[in-house]
Amino acid sequence: MKWTDGILIALVAFILGGCASSYPHPVFLAGDYYMLGGPDCELYEHSGDPSKVAECYTSDNEFTGKRHALSSEELQAYLQEQQEKIAVLEGIRSEVSLPNKPDPAQSHPCSRSSGC
């Protein structure tokens, strides 16, 4: 593997890390989307009242704040950002060529077809 391939693989891993559930992401609750998740909002609850607020908690059940429902513009911006990340990944994937599995008949000097 060339060193540039290692850099590309690290870049892809870094970008994909943004897709993990440990980062804030839209969650559908009670008819609206809220940006929940991440270390400061691992646990959350929606009171069900019309104020459209979700309360966030750490994994230790420590209250960290409230999150308001996303507007349609905020949700569209998030989705656009995700589409841009996917486009970057597709571009990287098309530039990286993984080595093909070698043909044993051609890589070994004593193949069945050529003899020794």
Query: From its phi and psi, is residue 37 left (phi > 0), alpha (psi between -120 and 50) or beta?
Result: left
pLDDT for position 69:
94
- The answer to whether the CB of 105 falls within 8 A of the CB of 111 is yes
Q: How many CB atoms lie within 10 A of CB 44?
A: 17
Give the tokens for residue 67.
Answer: 């999150």
Give the tokens for residue 116.
Answer: 């020794």
Judge whether residue 99 has pLDDT over 90.
no
The one-letter code for the residue type at 92 is I
- The answer to whether the CB of 15 falls within 8 A of the CB of 23 is no
- Each residue of 55-90: pLDDT tens digit? 999 999 999 999 999 999 999 999 999 999 888 888
- The answer to whether the CB of 43 falls within 8 A of the CB of 56 is yes
Q: How many CB atoms lie within 10 A of CB 56?
A: 22
pLDDT for position 93:
79
- Each residue of 19-66: pLDDT tens digit? 445 789 999 998 899 999 999 999 999 977 778 899 999 999 999 999
Where exactly are the structural domains of the chain? 3-95
pLDDT for position 21:
56
- Name the strand (E) or helix (H) holding 14: helix 3-17
